[in-house]
Structure formats: structure tokens, C-alpha cells
């Protein structure tokens, strides 16, 4: 099996996210003796020929799948090896936006060599409950992983320099809350839902006990069918609602941060337009994926906002914890999957932010750890890729 050739295809993300995911996977595959080559979309004709000779193809995001066409057919219709589509973005968006993704999922039902790798258990539950077909072993659990910087990990900052909090959050395109409220009505207007339905939905989404993942509330309030895949209009509506809720939560969180007079550094765009009463807040601008692992050990804690997941963490969470840095994030069942030594480092708040201030205060008052916890291989890309390989070949 170690003689297998793996092709990893992705695109160049402006913050280097997808490029680094590809490199992390390539390094992990190398530890198991696999040869792998990384290709960036759009794929050249020569690269397409090389891909056809691969034993395994890993597509990070659906964009490479859009460009891989052989004689008028998607490559996954003619490829003889195994294909893994790693859906690192919101799955309802990928399915509703890209015909190639819908074609890939249709093809999965005919070929056991096509796999869908998912970073959260929410996405796996959606696939299992929203489709009439039982995908079984073709759904791969592939959570994000830690990527700590080795020099920073081995040479942690002194306690005196680790008093500030780091916030990583872009709020571009997020307007004031009244505009957001009208935005949901406008976004759903073409789908035929009544104003009373939208009002009930908005109230449920902004309630104190709304979970991170709004899918159950959306389906119940709008009376959507269980089997969603044939209903493209409904999938588009769900994607719009999910995006709206992310924006609303970001705006609410941004306002709370701006009014907290704590030593906070903000990495992200859009913040310069937000009025703040804090004298301790500092704007860093955008940082790349690699920048995060280098600078996070300088901080006492990071403030994280995950996608609308009930069971999955952003890789920032794993990296901060592996670097001995506290994490303040919305409540998430993924905490139960963390090693015992990592769990005390997570300070959770409700997705509605109802108890955000108390979680923030608790983390602020917590003592700075003397050293990072013992490095746990279970949160690395080597472990993630090993689990994926076991599912493919055992």
C-alpha cells in the first residue's frame, strides 16, 4: 500500500489556508511512506494526465472538482482510483452553489470509491439525515487539526508578556443589527416564505437557547422536508439563513468586544468602521494561516467563533490549546473529544452570547499556564490522515 500515489488538488487561498492544509496532508502521508503531489486549480492538461495515473485523489474544497473535466466528463466519472472530497466549508453552500458537488454526491451512490470527508459531525449528521441514500463508510470523519509553530512551542513567552487576548474574526460586510434583521427578510423573499414564518424563525435564531447549528430550527420553523437533497431551493434558503446567522453572531460579538476594556488584539478586517469605547483594544489587520501559529503563544487566550457547528472546532482551537493558550469559544460537543489535559483550557459561552461576559471574565482571571500541556498526537494531521487511511483500506 505504501507504493500508492496520491494527488492533492486545491486552490490558492488568500490567507494560505487551503495551501497549508494540502502541505499538512502531504507531510502526514509521507510519514506513512506515501508519495504525494500537490496541484493547484485551475489544473493544466499535463497535470490532468498525471492525476489519471494516481491511486488516490484528495480534493480540498469543491473548486478543483469544477475544473477537472476529461472529454466533457467530470474526472470523478472516469477516474479509476479513490477520490476524497474534503468539504471544509459549509456543506449546504457547496451543494446548492456548485453543480459539480451535486454530481459528485449522485456519483457516490453508484461508486464505493468516492468519499466525502467532513470536518464536523454536524455535516455528517446532515448527510445521514438529509438524504435517502445510506452513505455508510463513504462519509469520512476528518476534523481539523493543530498546527503549532515548533520554535514558539519550544520557547514560550514569559508570563509578563502573556496578558493580552487575541481575537481572530473578519466582520467585512456585516452591517448594523437593524440592517441585518431586514437582510434576512430580503434574502428569503424570493422563496415564498411568509413574513410570519420569517419572524418566528428570526426570533428562534436569536433566542438565548438557540444552538450553534440552526438546521433543526430552520427545518421545523419553515416546515422543510427531511430529505433535502432533491430540493435545491430549500438548500439555498438554508445556506442564506446560515450565513445570516453567522453575520448576526459576529456583529453581536464585535459589539461586545468593542465595549470590553480588556487588553485585546484583533486580527481581522472590517473592525476600523466599528466605534469602540475600549482604550486597551488594538487592531492588527489580517493575518495569514501561518502567522497564527507563530503569534498565538504570545497570548494568554484566544477568542474564537466557530462556524455554526454543534460538534466541531476550527483548527485555531486545537493550535491554541497545543500551544498552552486558553480558548474562549461557543459551547461545543467537540470539547468532549479533547484530551483530558486540554479540556480545562476551554472557556465556553452560549452561541447566543448570553453568558459571554462571564466566560471572558473567567478566562481573564485564570492563572497563566506554566507550560503547554503534553503535546498530544491525537490532534495532529498525522493522526487525522492515519484515521482516513484506515477507513479507506481496512
Q: Is residue 342 part of a domain?
A: yes
Q: Is residue 130 part of a domain?
A: yes
- On whether both 266 and 321 belong to a single domain, the answer is yes
- On whether both 55 and 181 belong to a single domain, the answer is no
- On whether both 343 and 329 belong to a single domain, the answer is yes
- On whether both 258 and 189 belong to a single domain, the answer is no
Q: Is residue 98 part of a domain?
A: yes
Q: What are the φ/ψ torsions at residue 2 (nearest 5 degrees)?
A: -70, -10
- On whether both 159 and 307 belong to a single domain, the answer is yes
- On whether both 34 and 113 belong to a single domain, the answer is yes
CATH number for 47: 3.40.50
Rounded distance between C-alpha atoms, residue 26 and residue 20, angstroms: 10
Residue 161 confidence class, pLDDT cut points 50, 70, 90: low
- On whether both 160 and 307 belong to a single domain, the answer is yes
Q: Check if the beta carbon of residue 94 is closer than 8 Å to that of residue 282.
A: no
Q: Count how many domains the chain has.
A: 3
- On whether both 163 and 309 belong to a single domain, the answer is yes
- On whether both 40 and 60 belong to a single domain, the answer is yes
**Residue 174: what pLDDT?**
53
Query: What's the predicted TM-score (pTM) here?
Result: 0.92
CATH number for 313: 3.40.50.2000
Q: Region 135-144: what's the mean pLDDT?
A: 93
**Residue 226: what pLDDT?**
78
- On whether both 301 and 165 belong to a single domain, the answer is yes
User: What is the domain range of residue 127?
Assistant: 5-146+381-393
Q: Region 118-127: what's the mean pLDDT?
A: 92
Q: DSSP code of 161?
A: G
Sheet-wide strand order for 5-10: 35-40, 5-10, 56-60, 82-86, 114-118, 139-141
- On whether both 49 and 121 belong to a single domain, the answer is yes
Q: Is residue 248 part of a domain?
A: no
Amino acid at each position: 500500500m505504501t507504493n500508492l500515489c496520491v494527488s492533492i488538488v486545491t486552490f490558492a487561498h488568500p490567507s494560505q489556508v487551503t495551501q497549508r492544509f494540502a502541505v499538512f496532508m502531504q507531510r502526514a502521508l509521507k510519514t506513512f511512506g506515501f508519495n504525494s503531489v500537490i496541484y493547484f486549480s485551475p489544473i493544466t492538461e499535463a497535470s490532468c494526465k498525471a492525476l489519471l495515473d494516481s491511486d488516490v485523489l484528495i480534493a480540498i474544497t469543491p473548486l478543483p472538482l469544477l475544473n477537472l473535466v476529461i472529454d466533457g466528463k467530470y474526472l470523478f466519472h472516469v477516474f479509476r482510483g479513490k477520490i476524497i472530497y474534503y468539504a471544509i466549508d459549509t456543506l449546504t453552500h457547496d451543494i446548492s452553489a456548485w453543480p459539480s458537488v451535486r454530481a459528485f454526491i449522485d456519483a457516490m451512490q453508484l461508486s464505493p470509491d468516492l468519499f466525502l470527508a467532513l470536518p464536523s459531525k454536524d455535516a455528517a449528521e446532515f448527510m445521514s439525515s438529509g438524504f435517502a441514500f445510506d452513505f455508510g463508510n463513504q462519509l469520512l470523519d476528518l476534523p481539523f487539526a493543530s498546527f503549532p509553530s515548533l520554535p514558539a512551542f519550544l520557547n514560550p513567552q514569559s508570563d509578563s508578556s502573556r496578558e493580552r487576548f487575541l481575537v481572530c474574526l473578519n466582520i467585512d460586510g456585516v452591517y448594523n443589527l437593524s440592517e441585518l434583521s431586514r437582510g434576512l427578510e430580503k434574502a428569503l423573499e424570493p422563496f415564498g416564505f411568509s413574513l410570519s414564518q420569517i419572524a418566528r424563525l428570526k426570533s428562534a435564531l436569536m433566542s438565548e437557547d438557540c444552538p450553534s447549528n440552526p438546521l433543526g430550527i430552520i427545518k421545523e420553523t419553515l416546515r422543510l422536508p427531511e430529505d433535502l437533497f432533491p430540493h435545491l431551493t430549500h438548500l439555498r434558503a438554508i445556506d442564506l439563513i446560515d450565513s445570516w446567522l453567522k453575520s448576526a453572531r459576529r456583529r453581536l460579538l464585535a459589539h461586545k468586544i468593542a465595549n470590553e476594556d480588556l487588553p485585546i488584539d484583533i486580527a481581522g478586517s472590517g473592525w476600523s468602521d466599528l466605534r469602540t469605547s475600549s482604550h486597551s483594544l488594538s487592531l492588527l489587520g489580517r493575518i495569514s494561516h501561518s502567522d497564527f501559529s507563530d503569534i498565538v503563544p504570545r497570548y494568554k487566550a484566544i477568542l474564537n467563533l466557530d462556524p455554526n457547528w454543534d460538534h466541531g472546532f476550527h483548527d485555531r482551537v486545537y493550535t491554541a490549546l497545543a500551544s498552552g493558550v486558553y480558548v474562549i469559544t461557543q459551547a461545543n460537543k467537540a470539547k468532549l473529544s479533547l484530551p483530558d489535559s486540554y479540556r480545562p483550557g476551554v472557556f465556553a459561552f452560549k452561541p447566543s452570547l448570553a453568558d459571554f461576559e462571564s466566560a471572558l471574565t473567567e478566562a481573564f482571571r485564570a492563572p497563566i499556564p506554566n507550560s503547554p500541556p503534553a503535546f498530544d498526537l491525537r490532534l495532529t494531521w498525522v493522526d487525522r490522515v492515519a484515521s482516513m487511511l484506515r477507513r479507506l483500506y481496512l
